Structure 1
Amino acid sequence: MAVNTRFATGVHALALLAVEPDVLQTSEDVARKLNTNPVVIRRIFSLLHQADLVESQKGPNGGSKLAKPAKEISLEDIYRALDGGALFHAADLSGPMTGKVNPVLAGVFRSAEKALREELSKTSLNQLVKKSIKKK
């Protein structure tokens, strides 16, 4: 199973923008600070822009910044923008028990995803950044 790091990378990128909310940062700047490829950051910023979490300006003096204050952006907002699909997927299996197990398993998956989203909604980007700075 492939691991999706888009959410974690997006949170890190937005945290960098939140630390300097009035500064436009290029995808190259953010990528260098996160030790990743600028293309990864551009793809993430594109999704965050579509969700109205980031605003970007093109051109030689362009870059990206938060579209609204960090205290108004929850981790659930970021998760929804970057990974909005189902957290779990049922296996494509057949057999005598799958018809009985699949509906029960689907209910467990829905409950787990609901709990995850509720937990993520409790923390704002601003709270995350403040907690991170305190740990230095």
Structure 2
Amino acid sequence: MAVNTRFATGVHAMVLLAAEPDTLQTSETIAGRLETNPVVVRRVFSLLHHAGLVDSHKGPSGGSKLARPAKQITLADIYKALDTGDLFHTAEFASEEAAHTASALHQVFKNIERSLRDELSKTTLSQIAKKATRKAAKADGKKHK
């Protein structure tokens, strides 16, 4: 089963944009800092741009930046922009017994996804960026001792 890392990549990229909110950053720069392919970042930025979370400008002096302050962007906004469908899928079995189990399981999955979205809506990009900065500062302090 393939793991979708689009949401995590999107959050990481958005944190980097939040660190320099007035600076246009290229997908190459962001990709280099995330140690991933610029195409991955461009695909994520395209979806975020379409959702109104990122402003992107093409051309030699182009790049991307947050479309609004990080305090106004929740993880739920990012998740919705990068959503690739249901988190969980039930298997399709032919028996009637399996259909009843699948139906019950489907309801559990819907409840989990609702809870996930509710939890993501409580956290802003700004909060994640601040936590990341504190952890980085703490790690730097340990390196210099």
Bucket of the pairwise TM-score, normalised by the shorter protein: over 0.9
The answer on 1:31 being equivalent to 2:31 is yes
Q: 5+ residue gaps in structure 1? A: none
Matched position secondary structure for 1:109: helix
1:12 equivalent to 2:12? Answer: yes
Residues 1:60 and 2:57 aligned together: no
Alignment match, 1:71: 71
Question: Distance between the aligned counterparts of 1:128 and 1:13, measured in 2?
Answer: 12
User: Partner of 1:44 in structure 2?
Assistant: 44
Shift of 1:96: 3.8
**C-alpha offsets along residues 53-78 of structure 1, whole Å, 9 cap, x if unaligned?**
00011111100000000001000100
- TM-score after normalising by structure 2: 0.91
For residues 23 and 62 of structure 2, the distance between their equivalents in structure 1, rounded to whole angstroms, comes to 10
Unaligned runs of 5+ in 2: 137-145
Q: Which residue of 2 aligns with 1:113?
A: 113
Identity level (%):
61
Equivalent-residue separation in structure 1 for 2:6 and 2:45 (angstroms): 11
Deviations 1:33-52 (A, max 9, x none): 00000000000000000000
Greater than 3 Å deviation, 4+ residue runs: none
Alignment partner of 2:113: what SS? helix
- The alpha-carbon deviation at position 101 of structure 1 amounts to 0.6
Does the 8 Å CA contact 2:93/2:99 hold for their aligned counterparts?
Answer: no
